[in-house]
Amino acid sequence: MNVAKLQAAAPDTLPTDLAALEAWFDRRLDEKLAEREANKVPSLCVIATKGTMDMAYPPFILASTASALGWNASIFFTFYGLELLRKDLHLKVSPQGNPAMPMKMPFGPDWLKRINMPIPNLVSGNLPGFESLATSLMEQTVKAKGVPSIKELRDICIESDVRLVACQMTVDLFNYRQDEFIPEIAEWIGATTYLGEARNADVCLFV
Amino acid sequence: MENTLDARGLNCPLPILRTKKTLNGMQPGDTLKVVATDPGSLKDMAAFCSQTGNTLLSSQQAGGDYEFLIRKA
């Protein structure tokens, strides 16, 4: 449609001289862009690469929260991140190689719960069952503080339509079988498919 | 109609997730009272409402609890 036709169609709103016309276009463009932004559904793509209990939290917390905000959310599980999709979750956490992790009692009086008891790696690495102990303490802390378990968060993600996609290559690499993992996995994909999904995401995070 | 959600003892992100779930089962215009103990919910509830178009009618601290009144969009 040319300018003359536009002016004929909307004589009251369209200016006639060039400078005014340009200003009008600029204003309309801003309005249109704002309209588009307001109607857009934001999207979140998280890549989950870690298979420990502590590192399982960020992907599930962010994806479930994004979903509660009305966003489209997806998590791509690759390498050790695939552990978070097992039918039987056995995630562990260890202060070994994780020096920032506090070692605190989940129960007892407040003064005791505040004390950090750092265990040297030499001890924690050689003491049989230390990882299980640390995991059990963390699980009790999580429960006592009203933080959901990983299983609970994963169920919420499934319930709220977070798209769970998993890496095909990892399954082949570690000789896993697809039926060891939950059936709610939307798709088994590779890097190319993932990038195709992630390219339009507003927020893309690597965990 | 007023609905109530007891989110006391729950921590991030559960108060928000439960709020969203409760709102899903309500009619537009209905109000929901949420009681929480998570101090983070003070900011999170405001952010949740502003991003989802629901109206945060009030947000206050009562003793150790935080009380929110939300009108569903």
Identity of residue B11: N
Of A68, A145, A146, the CB nearest to B17: A68
Q: Which of A36-50, A98-112, A152-166, B42-56 has the lowest mean pLDDT?
A: A98-112
A78: Cβ–Cβ under 8 A, 6 or more apart, which residues? Answer: A47, A48, A49, A166, A167, A169, A170
Q: Do A146 and B10 touch (CB under 8 A)?
A: yes
Q: Does residue A196 surpass a pLDDT of 70?
A: yes
Do β-strands B55-62 and B31-36 pair in parallel, antiparallel, or remain unpaired?
unpaired
CATH number of A43-206: 3.40.1260.10
Distances (CA, A) of B22 to A89, A117, A191, A192, B60: 28, 41, 37, 38, 20
pLDDT reading at B7 higher than 80: yes
Chain B residue with minimal CA distance to A61?
B13
Query: At what angle are helices A53-68 and A130-144 packed, to 10 degrees?
Result: 30
Q: What mean pLDDT is predicted for residues A9-30?
A: 82
Q: Give this complex's ipTM.
A: 0.78
**A-chain residues within 8 Å CB-CB of B14?**
146-148
Which of B11, B16, B37 is facing A68, going by the closest CB pair?
A: B16
Is residue A54 within 8 A of residue A43, CB to CB? The reply is no
Q: What is the pLDDT of residue B33?
A: 96
B49 is catalytic: no
In the prediction, which pLDDT does A84 show? 96
pLDDT averaged over every residue in chain A: 88
pLDDT at A10 over 70: no
Q: Which residue of B has its CA nearest to A152?
A: B14
Domains (ranges, CATH) in chain B? 2-71 (3.30.110.40)
Q: Does A203 touch chain B (CB under 8 A)?
A: no
What pLDDT digit, counting tens, does each position of B13-67 carry?
A: 999 999 999 999 999 999 999 999 998 899 999 999 998 999 999 999 988 899 9
Predicted pLDDT at A203 = 95
**Shortest CB distance from A64 goes to which of B11, B17, B52?**
B17
Nearest of B13, B37, B27, B10 to residue A69 by alpha carbon: B13
CA B49/CA B23 separation, integer angstroms: 11
Please report, in angstroms and rounded to a whole number, the separation of the first and last CA atoms in chain B.
14
**B48 to A64: CB separation less than 8 angstroms, yes or no:** no
d(CA A22, CA A71): 36
pLDDT at A100 over 90: no
The SS3 of residue A151 is helix
Across the interface, whether the CB atoms of B12 and A61 are under 8 A apart is answered yes
Burial group, residue A2, by CB count within 10 angstroms (0-12, 13-18, 19+): exposed
Q: Which of B11, B12, B57, B73 is catalytic?
A: B12
Predicted confidence band of residue A17 (pLDDT cuts 50, 70, 90): confident
**Residue pLDDT, tens place only, A141-181:** 888 888 889 999 999 999 989 999 999 999 999 999 999 99
Q: Residues of B numbered 16-55 whose beta carbons fall under 8 angstroms of chain A's beta carbons: which are they?
A: 16-17, 19-20, 37-38, 48, 51-52
Distances (CA, A) of B44 to A57, A123, B64, B66: 18, 41, 17, 12
